[in-house]
Amino acid sequence: MRKTLSQSSLARWSRRFLSAVLLCGQVVVHLLSGKIHRRNTLEQMAIVGPQSLSINALTAAFVGMVFTIQVAREFLNFGAANAVGGVLAVALVRELSPVLTAVILAGRVGSAFAAELGTMQVTEQIDALYILKTDPIDYLVIPRFIACCLMMPILTMFSFMIGMTGGLLIATTLYGIPQSIFLESARNFLGTGDLVNAAIKGSIFGGLIAVIGCNWGLTTSGGAKGVGESTTTAVVTSLMSIFISNFFLSWLMFKGLGEAVLSF
């Protein structure tokens, strides 16, 4: 019986994931048609961006400080104190900032999308939109998609700066690394392409979070229990999609060693 339930759950998840892929295509088509609800979009941008700054900043600061604690002592033992800032900068901008910001938004925003739209679905508010000749994709999905795609790169850059600040604080106070050496190392290791790629990663992750959260909400059934299940599954699916897509994006963007590391 457990095997039957497991297979049923997997089949249902597969159908909903396929529905998410189709929804992504619909989003692209609707965006090309230029139908954008500006008020809804601005509201969602405020929810995704400014309201996520505090938790994003707190997470980034401690990640930057912990990473510096982990690597600074080892680098000092090898006489490579002038590389601490550069290594932290590369780690933050290429992986930690985009991924951790996406994880935060998946838990905070993606779950909210699934819960909100799922509640609307089980209470037949989505059907009411159709009766009013309003396309739910235009009215509900597109604003959330745009908000996530636009705000995620900004939050990623903000996370990077806060993480570097936290790392700089630890490096200068605990390990006596001069601020000028720390920042100069970061400038030597980083390139403009790293920042651009981080923003691209953030935008793609934001789109995944929006599409998956909205799709799981729109395909909710079964009342309050179904809303809870959709919310949980949407977050798990978003995280899985972020980690898998991060591998392929990193492979495409950073599969070389990098000129800065080679010249160091």
pLDDT digits (tens, 9 = 90+) for 64-109: 999 999 888 888 888 888 889 999 999 999 999 999 999 999 999 9
**Domain for residue 22, yes or no?**
no
**Domain for residue 233, yes or no?**
yes
Residue 204 sits at the vertex; the CA angle it makes with 167 and 71, to the nearest 5 degrees, is 20
Burial of 120 (0-12, 13-18, 19+ CB in 10 A): buried
Residue count of the chain: 264
Residue 129: pLDDT band by 50, 70, 90 thresholds? confident
**Domain for residue 3, yes or no?**
no
Tokens found for residue 85: 């800032």
**Domain for residue 31, yes or no?**
no
> Is the entire prediction scored with pTM above 0.75?
yes
Residue 3: pLDDT band by 50, 70, 90 thresholds? low
**Domain for residue 241, yes or no?**
yes
**Domain for residue 143, yes or no?**
yes
Q: Which contacts qualify for 168-171: CB closer than 8 Å, 24 or more apart? A: 168/85, 169/65, 170/64, 170/65, 170/68, 170/69, 170/72, 171/68, 171/72, 171/84, 171/85
Torsion sign (Cα): 42, 216, 14, 19: negative
CA distance 264 to 255: 18
**Domain for residue 225, yes or no?**
yes
**183-238 per-position pLDDT tens digit:** 999 999 988 899 999 999 999 999 999 999 999 999 998 888 889 999 999 999 99
Residue 4: pLDDT band by 50, 70, 90 thresholds? low
Tell me which amino acid residue 248 is.
Answer: F
**Domain for residue 107, yes or no?**
yes
Domain total for the chain? 1
Look at residue 52 in the predicted model and tell me its pLDDT. 92
| 49: containing domain | 38-255
**144-187 per-position pLDDT tens digit:** 999 999 999 999 999 999 999 999 999 999 888 899 999 999 99
